[in-house]
Structure 1
């Protein structure tokens, strides 16, 4: 077969702000998603959270001194108005800091959650074939609940650091009161630290296990919802319910493990905290008997022991940080899905023609596969596939089930990239094209199109004008169906009753504007023969290159050439009549 030649366009690149945005997006895509990365994302509000936490902790540490001054003033028979007023002011300051911390922490988590969800959705939609290794329900659980937990990484990190201020501050102030008090407190503080460390380890393990099981259950529920009619028809609702909820006992056990860790920490705290406080109080009483501290300072020493050894707030902070760290670890697995990268090139020529190396006008849409290889879990899906479809020609892709037809269609439309080889459109490798140039030139329609959008018009032509949508619908015979609906093209997609054939028409309408190549993966298989022929005629009028995956002998016979696949390799390329002489080729349509 003679090969039409194409010329490469001069590489272009977005300029100015677009270039900066593209570079920033690429840089973010290369960064690993870690606990620290989520914390850095929240850095805009973290200073406010840290400042409010610090001021709140300092006011809490200052309160016992104010109370000590009030007690000493009362014991000495002096007026205690000023110390009491200072104590009241410190209490109000602490309440204000708590309010600021709550507001800023919520806003910070909401911003981080939106950032995480946006990045994860872009990765999932930007590399759909790689996302197949995750169940859809599990992905939804990670992007929704998982992102919400992970978004608290920044506030929880600040809270952990701020949580060190009360015990350390108590230690310093006890040493300032009298150094034996600090020694007694330090012994109890070591016990508190051991309790927190053990609690953090147990909580992190339980939180991760809980999220994993929750994702598995969500995946099963998603599968069941997608096959609800099949389950109802088979009468297996009870069995399916049991399958979905099979891990419920395990989920409950992991939840109980979290509560056991919390209760165990509480039990240990019930020993460690009072021991630390008793040690300080005994020492303080001894110091008071020697006249080294006053009665007010005895009260302050007890308050500092209670503040420094208290675990009530710290256990909540540690638990939140553990959940955030576990969620980030699960989200990082999705974040590793590198989205498809695009170049900045445009296709040579415009409209339906381009220029060959000899300067003559040639038909646009020349599609060339060069040693294309696609890897699969159990072996290669495509291996060394090479062929050329001249511009404006119709190529039928045939083969037995599992031969790689749909994978080839995905590669041709650049819905996935091959691990080896390259696909060229009019001489330009597909990865070098800009996103806009590629999607303007190449359209894809499948046997079971996934329809999305608010209305029927959105599903038919996302981002296109109503005039363009109606033109596509008229060409493909979908206009009559649309105008019969209560709101016409503005009917909500969720309530549009449609058969498999009508869904395929909508999918075809969506790909109709493609200027050079249409990749049709059995996209008319649910239509009757008359409708299929009408659509075939409409497609032929546009003169675009068509790569048609089919199992119908009539479609192969109408094509200009046939690409015959067998177990991921090209068994033959040529006219249908020539290939028909091979009994193995005829057997493809008999199966």
Structure 2
């Protein structure tokens, strides 16, 4: 049974925790960055005092002397140290961003693939690409953006202490100015985080629309709707521009406020110091040092740029954390019992999509070795049943068992060795055509699986046969489908699931594959999402779905008597009095029934 639900953390908390995770996963670079930044801050903090001593030594009667020369050497050494620290922070910042970005992208891609196809129901693929790309890059800048504002507090606090040691009046003026700068920075960070979230959401929306358009490029070209699609893809541009202008306004307003507050702070400190100099309470060198400390401490206003990046990093981290919150399928450790032939059981299975049941209260027992056809109109739940059969989708209620073992209890390798999937548009991976079939199975399994999928002949015509690199083996849609079928045949030892996996095959090849399914692969259960009456007629058992519920279960010729069942295949002729007509029968070589609408495209149900 699924684990009891727990209250997930809020998006702000999850995003901030992810930022701290990037800090920990950036290796030694954040420590180097922090050390260099703090060392540079300390050197800058020491520099005004050294300059003040140098001024006092230079203005004394009789020339600078040894003390003045030593003060000048000290100042030069401090300046050189500041420059070296700045260079090291640039290097460490770049290294940390690269390592953090690599960790974020690796974690996100691994999580997406581990969460399975269900995550794309919550997030469009294009938006996921934007989050894993630009979003991860912006979030990876968090370590640098977190450390530098803190490092800038060191010279500010040190300047306040140094001014207090020189004279309390300039220190009081400086403290008042720091409070005003802190108010400006706090408001800036809050506003930047909020506005950046809207900007990044608009970017993700454009990316999602573009990916959809690219997936349907042939349809768009055939329909001549390029201009309309350009308008649809770029429809969020006004929203993107509005958020971009808002970001600029926030930056400009904070910049103006800092441009007013910082000079006023410096002027106040110098004015207070001048009055104390006139009273004889400060020397010229101390006034010079106080002025330098005011400039150095007010440099905390330079944190605006770092806080801008931090605000964008926070909003990006929240978007990445929302994806990482999608549950990942946890696998058990059980092995499938020996000797099983793929007995498949659905016990009270309900699967929800967007919070609504799309497959409801399914109770079904399929004997091992059965050819099961799943029939229904588009949206009836066929593909969802096929996904639940091999745990591409977990039930919200109920349990699916394979040879008596709940799928949740099976180990990952045991599950994928027992269940083989073939889809309409298979993705091929591996270095060669042979590896695309075998994946982790022995190389010797490629040939038999390819022959069963009617792929062996065209593979042998390739320049290097099964050893032909995938990128050097251009294939038609039907040939790719046959490779996908061969991969499923090589892996599904107990259960084969075919979801519209023969839609691009010609009738002769489809018949060859159908014969292999019914004759050569009898040692396993075969679940076929059927769009043709001929496919259903060749099955041992047909489950008929309607609106996510099982409306009928039996042999094709039995269900054929129901006109509603015939209407699934869009047959207008009256119900036959006897068995199905020729071409729709169990032994028909070529299906005579046309595919229903939508059968050639992706199955939405």
Q: TM-score scaled to structure 1, two decimals? A: 0.88
| CA pair 82-471 structure 1, distance change in 2 beyond 3 A | farther
CA distance in 1, matches of 2:145, 2:309: 6
Contact 2:371 2:540 in 1 (8 A): yes
- 2:131 and 2:18 map into 1 onto residues whose CA distance is 17
1:47 aligns with 2:31: yes
Say whether residues 1:137 and 2:132 are aligned partners. Answer: no
Further displaced range: 443-452 or 314-323: 443-452
Bigger relative CO (Cα 8 Å, ≥ 6 apart): 1
Q: CA deviation at 1:187?
A: 1.8
Segment of structure 1 superposing worse, 235-244 or 293-302: 235-244
Q: Distance in 2 between matches of 1:103 and 1:545?
A: 59
Which moved further from structure 2: 42-51 or 409-418? 42-51
Aligned partner of 2:589 in structure 1 is none
SS in 2 for 1:310: helix
Instruction: Name the structure 2 match of 1:148.
Output: 137
- 1:306-360 alpha-carbon deviations (Å, 9 max, x no partner): 11123563111111111110101111111111111100000111xxx24xxxxxx
- The structure 2 residue matched to 1:541, chosen from 506, 509, 520, is 520
CA offsets, 1:411-451, max 9 Å, x none?
A: 00110101011110111000100000000010111223234
In structure 1, what is the Cα distance between the partners aligned to 2:84 and 2:423? Answer: 59
Q: 270, 287, 290: which one pairs with 1:298?
A: 287
**2:69 corresponds to which of 68, 71, 81:** 81
- Farther-moved stretch of structure 1 (174-183 vs 292-301): 292-301
* CA-based RMSD: 2.1
Listed as ranges, the gaps of 5+ residues in structure 1 are 1-30, 355-363
Cα distance in 2, alignment partners of residues 463 and 555 from structure 1: 31
- Equivalent of 2:499, from 514, 517, 521? 521
| Comparing 301-310 and 153-162, the one that deviates more | 153-162
Distance (Å, rounded) in 2 between the aligned partners of 1:587 and 1:221: 37
Deviates more, 1:240-249 or 1:142-151: 240-249
Task: Assess, with a 3 A threshold, how the Cα gap between structure 1 residues 289 and 276 changes in structure 2: closer, same or farther.
Answer: same
- Confirm whether residue 258 of structure 1 aligns to residue 247 of structure 2: yes
- C-alpha displacement at 1:378, in angstroms? 7.3
Q: Post-superposition shift, 1:401?
A: 2.1
Q: CA offset at residue 53 of structure 1? A: 1.5
Deviation at 1:463, TM superposition (A): 3.9
1:91 to 79, 89, 93: 79
Q: Deviations over 1:176-202 (max 9, x none)?
A: 111111001112222222222232233
CA distance in 1, matches of 2:476, 2:14: 43
Cα displacement (A) at 1:589: 2.5
Moved more, 556-565 or 481-490: 481-490
Structure-2 separation of matches of 1:399 and 1:311: 67
Tell me, yes or no, if the aligned pair for 1:33 and 1:335 is still in contact at 8 Å.
no
Greater alpha carbon shift after TM alignment, 573-582 vs 417-426: 573-582
Give the drift of 1:48. 2.7
Residue 168 of structure 1 is matched in structure 2 by 157
Residues 18-71 of structure 1, C-alpha deviation per residue, up to 9 Å, x if partnerless? xxxxxxxxxxxxx98432333244234333322222111111100001111111
Contact 1:217 1:245 survives alignment (8 Å): yes
What is the match of residue 565 of structure 2? 585
Determine whether 1:411 maps to 2:388.
Answer: yes
How far did 1:458 drift?
A: 4.7
- Aligned-partner Cα distance in 2 for 1:168–1:429: 62
Mapping of residues 209-228 of structure 1, within 5 Å: 209-228=198-217
Count matched residues.
Answer: 549
Structure 2 CA distance, aligned partners of 1:496 and 1:242?
36
SS state at 2:179 partner: helix
Q: Is the 8 A contact 1:460 1:506 kept in 2?
A: yes
Aligned counterparts of 2:32 and 2:126: Cα–Cα separation in 1? 37
Using the TM superposition, give the Cα deviation of residue 495 of structure 1 relative to its aligned residue in structure 2, in angstroms: 6.3
Aligned counterpart in structure 2 of residue 554 of structure 1, from 514, 529, 534: 534
Report how far residue 159 of structure 1 moved.
Answer: 1.7
Q: Which residue of 2 aligns with 1:242?
A: 231
How far did residue 474 of structure 1 move? Answer: 3.0
Once structures 1 and 2 are overlaid, which stretch shifts more, 127-136 or 249-258? 249-258
Taking a change above 3 Å as real, the CA distance of residues 124 and 587 of structure 1, as seen in their structure-2 partners, is same
Change (3 A) 1:33 1:486: farther
Distance 1:239 1:455 in 2: 40
Q: What secondary structure does 1:384 align onto?
A: strand
Query: 1:40, 1:154 within 8 Å by CA — same for their partners in 2?
Result: no
Alignment of 1:99-110 (within 5 A): 99-110=87-98
Alignment partner, residue 60 of structure 1: 44
Q: Name the stretch that deviates more: 452-461 or 167-176.
A: 452-461
Q: How much does 1:277 deviate? A: 0.6
Helix, strand or coil for the counterpart of 1:164? Answer: helix
93-102 or 247-256, which moves further after superposition?
A: 247-256
In the TM superposition, what whole-angstrom CA distance separates every residue of 1:339-393 from its partner, at most 9, and x where no partner exists?
11100000111xxx24xxxxxxxxx211111111111237321111111111111
Q: CA deviation at 1:489?
A: 4.4
Given the alignment, which residue of 23, 31, 34 partners 2:15? 34
Structure 1 segments of 4+ aligned residues over 6 angstroms from their partners: none
Gap change, CA 1:458 and 1:102, over 3 Å in 2: farther
Aligned to 1:14: none
Shift of 1:116: 1.6
- Secondary structure, in 3 states, of the residue corresponding to 1:414? coil
- The Cα of 1:488 is off from its aligned counterpart by 4.5
Residue 111 of structure 1 corresponds to which residue in structure 2? 99
Q: What is aligned with 1:334?
A: 323
In 2, distance between residues paired with 1:383 and 1:525? 27
Aligned residue for 1:564, secondary structure, equals strand
Question: Could you tell which deviates more after superposition, 306-315 or 441-450?
Answer: 306-315
Q: 2-side partners of 1:274 and 1:521: how far apart? A: 70
CA distance in 1, matches of 2:126, 2:482: 28
Q: How far does residue 274 in structure 1 lie from its aligned partner after superposition?
A: 0.9
Please tell me whether residue 390 in structure 1 is matched to residue 367 in structure 2. yes
In 1, are the aligned partners of 2:348 and 2:397 still within 8 Å (CA)?
Answer: yes
Q: Secondary structure at the match of 2:118?
A: helix
Structure 2 length-normalised TM: 0.86
The CA deviation at 1:130 is 2.8
SS at match of 1:331: helix
CA distance in 1, matches of 2:551, 2:293: 82
Is the aligned partner of 1:195 residue 2:184? yes
Q: 2:364 and 2:56 mapped to 1: Cα distance?
A: 95
1:150-190 deviation line (CA, Å, top 9, x unaligned):
11222222222212112111111110111111001112222
- Call closer, same or farther: CA 1:277–1:378 in 2, change over 3 Å: closer
